[in-house]
Amino acid sequence: MSNAVSPISCIEGLAQLLSDAELRQQYAKDPELVAGQLGICAGERHLFIALPVEQLAIQAELLLKKRMREAWKIIPLSFNGLGEAAATHFYAYAGRYWPDTWRRHVQDAWHFCRYLQDEGLPWNRSEWNRLDFVYQRRYCRLGIVSDVMVAGKNTTALQLLYRKDGRMQQRIFYLGTGW
């Protein structure tokens, strides 16, 4: 059996570099070696090995920043709950997982929330319920949550999610009295 790698283009190699920090480190030390490992085609090898290392790092970081900004818009409470470590946690997650559908921002936020749950990090339950409702394309969901903010306090409540004209709607019913 042959171990030969099918030749790939400079752009395909660039995509690998932009998504893989370890590969970028290898490339910075020896671009020829990485070109060989990836099997960059002979006609574009000279383009690949001339990619500027510093600019590669900037572009790669920008991709992660853009992902984080979009995910943050979707789950702001969970990000805020992580405090100053939010970016560190997101980058740790994002380097290992790349969403691959046109719903990538929702997909990214959903997988980041799962990462937070798996790692035992703080996340917001009611926000997760909304995100999961959208990501899984659910039609109705009822659950008890304890992190709904009422008058500045976390409150236990019934959270009802449903669709109207295709869009998610939410109703919150407080348990108990006093508000």
As measured in angstroms, the least distance from the Cβ of 167 to another protein is: 8
Q: Where on the phi/psi map is residue 124: left (φ > 0), alpha (ψ -120 to 50), or beta?
A: beta
Comparing CB distances to another protein, the nearer of 118 and 165 is 165
157, 174 Cβ separation under 8 angstroms: yes
- Of 96, 160, 168, 159, the residue nearest 135 (C-alpha): 168
CA 149 to chain CA centroid, nearest Å: 26
Comparing CB distances to another protein, the nearer of 165 and 176 is 165
123, 82 Cβ separation under 8 angstroms: no
As measured in angstroms, the least distance from the Cβ of 150 to another protein is: 25
Letter for the amino acid at 161? L
DSSP 119: T
Comparing CB distances to another protein, the nearer of 84 and 165 is 165
As measured in angstroms, the least distance from the Cβ of 6 to another protein is: 11
Q: What residue ranges bind another protein (CB under 8 A)?
A: 8-16, 18-19, 43-44, 46-47, 50-52, 55-56, 58-59, 62-63, 66-67, 69, 98-102, 104, 108, 165-167
Comparing CB distances to another protein, the nearer of 25 and 154 is 25
As measured in angstroms, the least distance from the Cβ of 132 to another protein is: 17
At residue 20, the 3 state secondary structure works out as coil
